Each structure stands twice: as C-alpha cells, then as structure tokens.
C-alpha cells in the first residue's frame, strides 16, 4: 500500500512516432504515454513483492484502464515525468493511480490495472 515509482522520458524530435503524428505539428501519441505509465506500473509491481509468488517467476501485464484523461500535448523537447502509485494488489491484480507531468503540469492521468502471470 502506498508504494510509488517515478520515471522520466526525455522526448526528442528524433522519436520515430513523430514521423506520422503529425508531420507539421509533432505531438506524442497519447497511447504511448499510457503505455509508458503501464510499464512503470509493471516495474513497480515486480519490485514490490506481494507475497504470492517469487518476483523472478512472474511478470505483470497491462490489462485495464479507467478514467484516462489527457490534459496537455507532449511535444519534442518536453521531459515527461511519470508517477505511479500502487493502490492495492489482490489475487494477482494490481491497481494503480498513474500520472504524467511536463514541467509540473499534468499531461495525462489514468487508473491502471496489471495482472500477474507466472512465467
């Protein structure tokens, strides 16, 4: 409960996704911001031993999203700061509150779910 992770992504003009999104006005696709938040949530889940399986025998997969909101565009030169809080883990399902910021301004927020699968 109350466990957190912070991650950073420096968004450069050389990102491949800017080629087609959009040529004259490059904007980072929102789905990639969500994916980055989900990856941070998965890392937090793996590093936070929930007592059900050993960490090295499992991965967490992104399985759900609710309440996703995009508050500002992310453009080349921005630094995204991802902050994810683990709200709870029950029966292998982790629930997370996730936010992405640029210069302290909220760019995106969502409630995420990740499911643990033994490998």
Catalytic residue list: 21
**Residue 32 is encoded by which pair of tokens?**
């990639």
What is the rounded distance in angstroms from the CA atom of residue 49 to the CA atom of residue 114? 14
Beta strands 93-102 and 3-10, pairing class: unpaired
**Cis status of the peptide bond prior to 22, with omega within 30 of 0:** yes
């Amino acid at each position: 409960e109350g466990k957190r992770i912070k991650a950073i992504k420096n968004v450069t003009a050389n990102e491949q996704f800017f080629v087609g999104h959009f040529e004259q006005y490059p904007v980072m696709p929102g789905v990639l911001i969500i994916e980055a938040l989900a990856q941070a949530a998965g890392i937090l889940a793996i590093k936070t031993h929930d007592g059900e399986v050993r960490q090295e025998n499992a991965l967490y997969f992104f399985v759900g999203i609710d309440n996703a909101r995009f508050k500002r565009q992310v453009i080349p030169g921005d630094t995204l700061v991802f902050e994810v809080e683990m709200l709870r883990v029950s029966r292998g399902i982790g629930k997370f509150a996730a936010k992405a910021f640029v210069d302290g301004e909220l760019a995106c927020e969502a409630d995420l779910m990740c499911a643990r699968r033994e490998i």
